[in-house]
Amino acid sequence: MSVVRRVLGAVRNPVVKWLFLAVAVGLAVYAVWATWDDLVDAAGRLSPGTVGAAVALTIAYVGCTLLAWRAVLADLGSPLPGRAAVAVFGMSQIGKYVPGGVWNVVAAAELGATHRIPRRRSLAAMAVAVLISVVSGTVVGAACLPFFSVSSLGAWSWVAVVAPVLAVLLLPPVLTRIVDVAFRVIRREPLEQPLTWRGLGAAALWSVVGWLLAGAQVWVLATDLGLERGPRSFALAVGGYALAWVVGFLVILVPAGAGAREGVLIAVMGAAMPHPELLLTVLLSRVLMTLVDLGLAGLGAVFAGGRRHTVPVTEPRP
């Protein structure tokens, strides 16, 4: 508990907040700069229509992750207006680029506090939204197993195998209990109200749609670089990206799963297209995701700097 309190206390310091934001943005920009030559090479081989479609799909995917988080937050008692949601979620997601795997959750709690959202509720909402992403991504990946070999995942093959078991975690009574136990471990009060079927259902739906869009982004890029078009290759891209994201999330020591995510995606799709073209595909996919994250953070900063929206805190459901 003392460690959690010290971390939360530190990030409430204005100087620390700005320093954290500067480091996170710097790491995100570096992630783009480090692959810039490959990006230029890939862009030169792709049609403008393909690049435009990939950008649109990336924006739509990130939008789905925002809506999934917003649905959980509303279910816990803090419905957030659109501009405020973009401000809190957009700026908090830059925390993904700081190694550790938890900084976007901490950032969301601090940013949410400026909108009268209890920090405990913000922590729970972001944690639940991330868990929904992990579980739904594993399930979507497992559903696509007939289209690729589990052995291509190597040491991470178990991620797909345990998908049916993980799906149980999305049941509201089970997930509510897990969150309450986790809060008890860190000596914090449990949720004011349990998660509902409607709220979790909406969040899970947005998450699944997000995986389809993210996979479509990879598929659009890959098919323009030599991947055969068709339902099988589409399922391969969707399932491969979903499982690659899950593996990247589990590797908490690198920012935003950098390297691990790409490695899994290359392993899954390696037999479907030449390696150089596949490498360009996954690198360009990563860069587009990073640029959209930065764009959303910038938009969030603009909204946060404008007129502040107050958010009504609803009473717990009986």
Cα separation, 230 vs 143, in Å, equals: 17
End-to-end CA distance of the chain: 29
Please say whether the beta carbons of 212 and 64 come within 8 A. Answer: no
pLDDT at 165 over 50: yes
Confidence category of residue 36, pLDDT binned at 50, 70, 90: low
How far is residue 107 from each of residues 23, 157, 184, 279, measured CA to CA in Å?
Answer: 13, 32, 21, 32
Angle subtended by helix axes 231-250 and 260-269, to nearest 10: 150
Q: What angle do CA 253, 127, 261 make, to 5 degrees?
A: 40
Q: What angle do CA 115, 123, 100 make, to 5 degrees?
A: 120
Count of beta carbons in the 10 Å neighbourhood of residue 6: 10
Least confident of 14-18, 154-158, 284-288, 295-299: 14-18
Please say whether the beta carbons of 91 and 112 come within 8 A. Answer: no
What's the pLDDT at 92? 82
What's the pLDDT at 59? 96
Least confident of 13-22, 118-127, 148-157: 13-22
Confidence category of residue 52, pLDDT binned at 50, 70, 90: very high
Cα separation, 8 vs 291, in Å, equals: 28
State the alpha helices, DSSP H only, in the chain.
2-11, 14-33, 36-45, 48-75, 82-92, 103-113, 119-143, 158-161, 163-167, 172-185, 197-224, 231-250, 260-269, 275-305
Residue % of the chain over a pLDDT of 70: 69
Cα separation, 8 vs 243, in Å, equals: 31
Mean pLDDT in residue range 39-51: 75
Please say whether the beta carbons of 219 and 233 come within 8 A. Answer: yes
Confidence category of residue 141, pLDDT binned at 50, 70, 90: confident
Highest mean pLDDT among 165-169, 173-177, 283-287, 291-295: 291-295
Mean pLDDT of the chain: 77
What's the pLDDT at 216? 97
Choose between 256 and 189: higher pLDDT.
189
Cα separation, 273 vs 232, in Å, equals: 13
Q: What is the pTM of this model?
A: 0.77
What's the pLDDT at 258? 52
What's the pLDDT at 204? 93
Residue % of the chain over a pLDDT of 90: 18
What's the pLDDT at 101? 55
| Tens-place pLDDT, residues 235-278 | 989 988 998 888 777 765 445 445 566 777 877 787 778 777 78
Look at residues 275, 143, 284 and name the one whose alpha carbon lies nearest to residue 220.
284
Cα separation, 83 vs 73, in Å, equals: 15
What's the pLDDT at 221? 93
